[in-house]
């Protein structure tokens, strides 16, 4: 499984006339842009630019307070996109249930699955067992053989390649890998982590959540400061 950060929110301007030294070289901006935008959004609500309260003067303290109060909408202004490779279609199905995430997913109607995904995603419970892993790979390759045969039969009957692949993909299992780009704002990612960075979650999506959390610790560390390293129980 690979989860690569592709983009995040960038601060590109600052309104004139606001009593807050947030010019690019100021100490106020010595935080990530994604964390900065959250604080900006919160301060915009109360016009508390000049920061009279020392307890929430620093970005980390400000966002800790926002999180404590559940004032989560301010975390919707910054987002993070990840390109995800080599996860199972089962994981994608679960992740897509999170309605505030946006997806661009490799199409099984257009992409030849035998070429793009010759090997299955081995479920975490089987990874350390060489025999189970081998059996699982053999069964997956059988499914790919069936897929290839259906594509060829249907093309032989005059169906287009796209029509043949869209029919043949029905024989592929949940462990078929899939690659996609997924974007969420920080509130949405926090919500996903609350449910999937959790011991009750499926093992593969829990692994995915751990990788996302690791990236968010770089992209917006103060916005995820309350999320523990170990999955929730």
Footprint of ligand FAD on this chain (CB under 6 A)? Answer: 97-100, 191, 195, 200-201
Q: Which is nearer to ligand FAD, 14 or 72 (CB)?
A: 72
Q: Closest Cα to residue 222, out of 26, 85, 40?
A: 40
Nearer to ligand FAD, 68 or 97 (CB): 97
- What DSSP assignment string belongs to 72-90? GGGGGS-EEEEEEEEEEHH
Give me the least distance between CB of 207 and ligand FAD, in Å please. Answer: 14
Residue in 89, 187, 196, 206 annotated catalytic: 196
* Whether 206 is catalytic: no
Least distance in angstroms from the C-beta of 87 to ligand FAD: 16
Q: How far is CA 108 from CA 89, 90, 137, 209, in A?
A: 11, 14, 20, 24
Cβ 185 vs Cβ 81: under 8 Å: no
**Smallest distance, Å, CB 73 to ligand FAD?**
12
The residue (of 100 and 110) whose beta carbon lies closer to ligand FAD is 100
The nearest distance, CB 104 to ligand FAD, in angstroms, is: 18
Task: Indicate the residue whose CB is closest to ligand FAD.
Answer: 99
- Whether the CB-CB separation of 80 and 96 falls below 8 Å is answered with no
Class of residue 133 by CB neighbours under 10 A (exposed 0-12, middle 13-18, buried 19+): middle
Q: Which is nearer to ligand FAD, 140 or 189 (CB)?
A: 189
Q: At what angle do helices 33-46 and 59-69 cross, to 10 degrees?
A: 60
Tell which residue, 53, 165, 184, 30, has the closest CA to residue 107.
165
Q: Among all residues, which ones are annotated catalytic?
A: 196
């Amino acid at each position: 499984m690979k989860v690569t950060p592709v983009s995040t929110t960038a601060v590109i301007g600052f309104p004139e006339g606001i009593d807050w030294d947030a010019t690019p070289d100021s100490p106020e901006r010595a935080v990530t842009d994604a964390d900065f935008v959250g604080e900006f959004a919160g301060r915009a609500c109360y016009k508390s630019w000049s920061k009279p309260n020392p307890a929430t003067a620093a970005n980390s303290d400000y966002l800790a307070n926002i999180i404590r109060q559940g004032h989560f909408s301010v975390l919707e202004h910054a987002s993070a996109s990840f390109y995800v490779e080599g996860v199972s279609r089962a994981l994608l199905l679960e992740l897509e249930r999170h309605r505030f995430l946006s997806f661009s997913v490799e199409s099984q109607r257009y992409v030849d699955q035998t070429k793009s995904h010759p090997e299955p995603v081995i479920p975490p419970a089987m990874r350390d067992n060489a025999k189970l892993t081998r059996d699982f790979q053999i069964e997956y390759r059988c499914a790919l053989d069936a897929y290839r045969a259906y594509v060829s039969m249907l093309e032989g009957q005059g169906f287009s390649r796209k029509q043949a692949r869209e029919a043949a993909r029905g024989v592929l299992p949940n462990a078929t890998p899939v690659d996609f780009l997924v974007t969420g704002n920080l509130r949405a990612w926090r919500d996903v982590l609350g449910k999937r960075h959790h011991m009750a979650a499926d093992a593969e999506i829990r692994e995915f959540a751990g990788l996302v959390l690791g990236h968010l610790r770089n992209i917006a560390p103060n916005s995820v400061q309350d999320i523990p390293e170990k999955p929730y129980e």
